[in-house]
């Protein structure tokens, strides 16, 4: 099943027309936030200019807002492979995770255990760790293999017990690109009666989410990592959302998923987020939004793997360059982390800018990963391939690193 050409895809992104030092900019900073196609900005503008109003009242713009939010839930239900009433909109993944962790924390007692990992972004660590002091929970963190960036499943099994009540796990590492076996983790967790929360922020830009396959209880993602505006979206099994005691105002709706949405939503952000999903669906053919997404992501994964292999092989051939995370062929995303001898990650990023290449540097809030790799001072350089990344851009990145 073929999708649109790279030229057709790139034509949707005005940011790709920008240049620096006479070079067209190569945006490898996608893991921190991708560029936005025209239709996403148009969806935000159209809402604000033509439909702006609060929801649930008996006048046209309010009714239009209500209908548009309903349509957005249906769009994200296709994206998650869930029901629309299992879709929660919020400010960002971190805020949603704090909101959920506080609600679930109210059901914990002293000594109940929560499992997190050393591989995760701290948005899926700190909200849970803070329940240690708030409710007396015990936090256990799963190690990862420093040599290949893979989660230590044996360590996870050892830490899992009848006392485990919540397992908070990333679907993919935003620093190293490692993809975890969420289906297996969910099964093992459910066997001891634990709930499973998945951080799919990095995963969602590279692989299509399927909560039925994952068998998770909750999952969060950030549309700005897959061509949308700055917003957050949460999946939760409806029966769990309904019985979870979210902090809320007394007059607010009690029914899920509205009970999990505190305050007036960012309606324009919701419209843009749905437009991002529809953009991805538009890249391929199919009889439904879900089928189009499956076909689009299948082809994008093939393209991404080819770019990943080219980038990995090119960088690994350069003296003084060290790569981190699983090698090509392992379950991973098309995001690469590397260092160059005698340079900090910030210095490398600044050098690459001279050739119109934008990468990110530091620890990306995956602070424990960088600490365990012994790179707290120098940091990592992170280069992520997106749907608009070309072979020429990968080759330019390799040449630019080699010139150091």
Segment 252-306, tens digit of pLDDT: 999 999 999 999 999 999 999 999 999 999 999 999 999 999 999 999 999 999 9
User: In the predicted model, what is the mean pLDDT of residues 70-75?
Assistant: 98
Q: Note the pLDDT of residue 2.
A: 82
Rounded to 5 degrees, φ, ψ at 201 are: -60, -50
pLDDT tens profile 344-367:
999 999 999 999 999 999 999 999
For residue 235, give the H/E element and its range: strand 232-236
Instruction: Give the residue among 277, 274, 303, 301 at the shortest CA–CA distance from 290.
Output: 277
Distance CA(174)–CA(160), nearest Å, equals: 24
Beta bridge partners of 24: 19
What is the mean pLDDT of the segment spanning 382-400? 98
Q: Write down the residue that tokens 């909560």 correspond to.
A: 211
Extract the tokens encoding 210: 């399927």
- Statement: residue 1 has pLDDT above 90: no
Tokens read off for 313 = 């092989």
The pTM of the full predicted model, rounded to 2 decimals, is 0.97
Q: At 142, is the pLDDT very low, low, confident or very high (cuts 50, 70, 90)?
A: very high
Does residue 200 contact residue 147 with C-beta atoms inside 8 Å?
A: no
Task: Give per-residue pLDDT as tens, 82-95.
Answer: 999 999 999 999 99
Within 121-188, strands assigned E span: 138-142, 164-170
The conformation of residue 67, written as its DSSP 8-state character, comes to H
* Tokens 């305050």 -> residue: 263
pLDDT tens digits, 100-130: 999 999 999 999 999 999 999 999 999 999 9
């Amino acid at each position: 099943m073929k999708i649109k050409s790279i030229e057709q895809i790139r034509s949707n992104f005005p940011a790709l027309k920008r240049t620096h030092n006479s070079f067209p900019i190569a945006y490898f900073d996608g893991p921190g936030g991708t560029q936005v196609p025209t239709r996403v900005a148009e969806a935000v503008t159209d809402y604000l200019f033509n439909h702006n109003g609060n929801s649930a009242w008996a006048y046209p713009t309010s009714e239009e807002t209500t209908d548009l939010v309903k349509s957005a839930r249906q769009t994200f239900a296709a994206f998650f492979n869930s029901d629309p009433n299992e879709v929660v909109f919020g400010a960002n993944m971190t805020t949603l995770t704090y909101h959920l962790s506080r609600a679930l924390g109210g059901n914990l007692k002293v000594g109940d255990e929560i499992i997190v990992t050393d591989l995760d972004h701290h948005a899926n660590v700190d909200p849970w760790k803070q329940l240690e002091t708030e409710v007396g929970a015990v936090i256990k963190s799963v190690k990862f293999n420093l040599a290949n960036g893979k989660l230590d499943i044996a360590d996870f099994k050892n830490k899992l017990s009848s006392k485990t009540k919540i397992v908070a796990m990333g679907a993919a590492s935003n620093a190293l690109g490692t993809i975890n076996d969420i289906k297996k983790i969910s099964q093992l967790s459910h066997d001891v009666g634990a709930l499973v929360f998945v951080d799919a922020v990095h995963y969602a830009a590279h692989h299509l989410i399927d909560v039925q396959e994952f068998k998770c209880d909750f999952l969060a993602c950030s549309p700005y990592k897959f061509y949308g505006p700055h917003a957050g979206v949460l999946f939760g099994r409806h029966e769990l959302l309904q019985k979870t005691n979210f902090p809320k105002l007394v007059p607010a709706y009690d029914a899920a998923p509205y009970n999990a949405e505190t305050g007036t939503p960012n309606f324009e952000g919701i419209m843009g987020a749905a437009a991002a999903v529809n953009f991805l669906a538009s890249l391929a053919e199919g009889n439904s939004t879900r089928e189009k997404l499956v076909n689009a992501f299948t082809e994008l994964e093939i393209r991404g793997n080819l770019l990943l292999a080219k980038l990995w092989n090119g960088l690994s051939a350069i003296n003084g360059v060290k790569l981190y995370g699983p090698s090509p062929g392992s379950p991973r995303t098309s995001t690469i982390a590397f260092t160059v001898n005698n340079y900090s990650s910030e210095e490398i990023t600044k050098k690459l800018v001279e050739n119109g290449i934008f990468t990110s540097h530091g620890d990306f809030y995956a602070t424990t990963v960088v600490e365990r790799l012994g790179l707290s001072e120098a940091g990592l350089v992170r280069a992520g391939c997106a749907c608009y990344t070309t072979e020429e851009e990968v080759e330019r990145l390799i040449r630019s690193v080699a010139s150091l």
